[in-house]
Amino acid sequence: MFPKNFLWGGAIAANQAEGAYQEDGKGLSVADILPVGSDRFENISYDIDVDEFYPNHKAIDFYHRYPEDIALFAELGLKCLRTSIAWSRIFPKGDEDEPNEAGLRFYDNLFDELLNNGIEPVITISHFETPLYLVEKYGGWKNRQLINFYENYAQTLFERYKGKVKYWMTFNEINHTHTLPLIAAGINVEKEDEWQKLNDMYQASHNMFVASAKAVLAAKQIDPDNQMGCMLSLSPIYPATCSPKDVLESYQLRRRSLFYSDVQLRGKYPSYFERIREENNLHLETQSDDFTIIEKGTCDYLGFSFYRSSLHEAGMKILGNTGGLLGKKNPYLEETPWGWPIDPIALRYVCNELTDRYEKPLFIVENGIGLRDEKIENKKIIDEDRMIYLKAHAEQMEEAIKDGCEIIGYTWWGPIDIVSAGTGEMEKRYGFIYVDRKNDGTGTLAREKKASFDYYQQIIKTNGNNLDYSKFVREGVVI
């Protein structure tokens, strides 16, 4: 049984949905310089090329269409919507003393619209949207000056939206500092040697830990009811074989991610980090009070994304994308059209792993499947594979609750089709709501409900007690 007040919801990100990338005083962010393609994080140029297509610039125009979309979310029955605030809407460069009032007003209106429709805002303060100016001038999060800029930004949000937002997360998928350093930490390490790259990643991580802790302390001082979470990508890692080398190296690799939640939830650097520091000759710039701040500013809950598991063999190159770490092909699992293993049992596994480790509430703030939904004129999209995926993961989430895991809620990634973070595609669709836009930016942006919309609506109405999707699967009907 799901708890009575379980937060069934959906999740989007400002940079993947809003568009309006230069409207009302907004500055550029790292997301605004990313083109379409699986190589969008390589050979990055900070200059906007007028001949290049940048999908985030318009996205699905949520900035102008949010009342229409929120009305659909309310019809769907969402109890909460996770989204982010675009830092460069509030502080266009990131280092200003005073905020941009037009940006603050937009989120006032957005949150009011959500609340008026009975939808709780769940807000990520920084979701792959570091202002580009902070990257160009300061070098991103490897520069500790960003701690003060972020603290000013976060405090501005807490004061402005007091009473409107209760659930916050400080950074999106902070552990992607290792695999996606530009968007996760605003650092460009493409041309650095291996030592410098690793040192910069851990320096950026440290500075983000301090900033996160300061945000937690400020949030609690401004409104003690604020619930502050950290957010990580935490799909589990299996050893490829029972070889002790595979098992140990998989464990060590897993710990590279859990390092981030260890610090943010336990309030101190774990003992195993000392060996990492010594063996890699890391030289981190810290200040004496950093560790006291980290200790005092621990997070209340752990938000995490879950899309897949990965299979690791000792010695293999460690690669990752927005779904998590890439590994060997798992012969026991089916895959999505984009090659992501489908592993619902792993969701139960990771919920138990995290509960055993931290004994704190969990919030599954991203889970979903990207599919190639084919739109046929005058026919409803019957996305059975999405319903199958949702049912299987809801079942395992319920099993985890029975296991004793305290799970606050579940926000499906992309209740409406949005731009893919990993590839910039629109045709990698997650939504229960179809958006008429293609990878090249063409389309009317019209919204249309898929069959999975009705299915998720049923799940929410019954609080997870009815997971039968059979009546929603039939040949496309004329609409």
Summarize pLDDT for 421-467 with one digit per residue, the tens: 988 999 999 999 999 999 999 999 999 999 999 999 999 999 999 99
Token pair in block for residue 157: 């949000």
- State percent of the chain over pLDDT 70: 98
In a domain, 440, yes or no: yes
Which residue in the list 23, 366, 398, 425 is annotated as catalytic?
366
What average pLDDT score do residues 53-74 get? 97
Confirm whether 174 is domain-assigned. Answer: yes
Question: 154: closest CA among 142, 143, 168, 164?
Answer: 168
Average pLDDT over residues 151-174: 98
Residue 364 CA to residue 355 CA, distance in Å, equals 13
The DSSP letter of residue 407 is E
Asked if the model's pLDDT at residue 476 lies above 70, the reply is no
The answer to whether position 2 is within a domain reads no
Write b or e for each residue in 89-112: b if 16 or more Cβ atoms lie within 10 A of its Cβ, otherwise e. Answer: bbbbbbbbeebbeebbebbeebbe
pLDDT at 324: 74
Task: State mean pLDDT over 48-64.
Answer: 94
**Catalytic residue flag (residue 398):** no
Number of other residues whose CB lies within 10 A of the CB of residue 82? 30
Q: So what's the pLDDT on residue 39?
A: 77
pLDDT tens, residue by residue, 167-194: 999 999 999 999 999 999 999 998 889 9
Neighbouring C-beta atoms of residue 159, cutoff 10 Å: 11
Which tens digits make up the pLDDT trace of 17-34? 999 999 999 999 999 999
Percent of the residues in the chain that have a pLDDT greater than 90, as a whole number: 90
Residue 43 in any domain: the answer is: yes
Tell me the C-alpha distance between 100 and 24, whole Å: 9
First and final C-alpha spacing in the chain: 36
Report pLDDT digits (tens) over 121-149. 999 999 999 999 999 999 999 999 999 99
Average per-residue pLDDT in the chain? 95
Average pLDDT of span 198-216: 98
Q: Would you list the DSSP string of 433-466? A: EEE---TTS-S---EEE-HHHHHHHHHHHTTTS-
CB 267 within 8 A of CB 238: no
Sign of CA dihedral 323, 329, 332, 334: positive
Contacts of 433 (CB under 8 A, 6+ apart): 69, 72, 415, 416, 417, 447, 448, 449, 450, 453
Residue environment code for 49-77, b if the CB has 16+ CB neighbours within 10 A, otherwise e: eeeeebbbbbbbbbbebbeebbebbbebb
- CB distance 28 to 47 below 8 Å: no
Integer angstrom CA distances of residue 68 from 19, 105, 446: 15, 18, 11
Residue entry with tokens 């930490």? 185
* The most confident of 188-192, 301-305, 308-312, 377-381, by mean pLDDT: 301-305
Q: Which domain holds residue 240?
A: 7-476
> So what's the pLDDT on residue 478?
39
Q: How many domains, the chain?
A: 1
Report the pLDDT value the prediction gives residue 38, as an integer from 0 to 100. 74
Eight-class DSSP state of 271: T
Helix (H, G, I), strand (E, B), or coil: what is residue 412?
A: strand
Beta strand 167-169 with 120-124 is: parallel
The mean pLDDT value for 371-382 works out to 91
In a domain, 129, yes or no: yes
Taking 90 as the threshold, does the pLDDT of residue 298 lie above it?
yes
Residues with Cβ within 8 Å of 472's Cβ and at least 6 positions away in sequence, in order, are 382, 387, 451, 452, 454, 455, 458
Q: Quick one: pLDDT at residue 322?
A: 67
Q: Do the domain assignments include residue 277?
A: yes
What integer pLDDT is reported at residue 37 of this predicted model?
78
Mean pLDDT, residues 327-338? 93
Residue 24, domain CATH = 3.20.20.80
Mean pLDDT computed over 382-387? 97
Sign of torsion over alpha carbons 469, 1, 335, 435: positive
Q: Examine residue 1 and state whether it is found in any structural domain, yes or no.
A: no
Give the Cα separation of 405 and 400 in Å (integer). 6
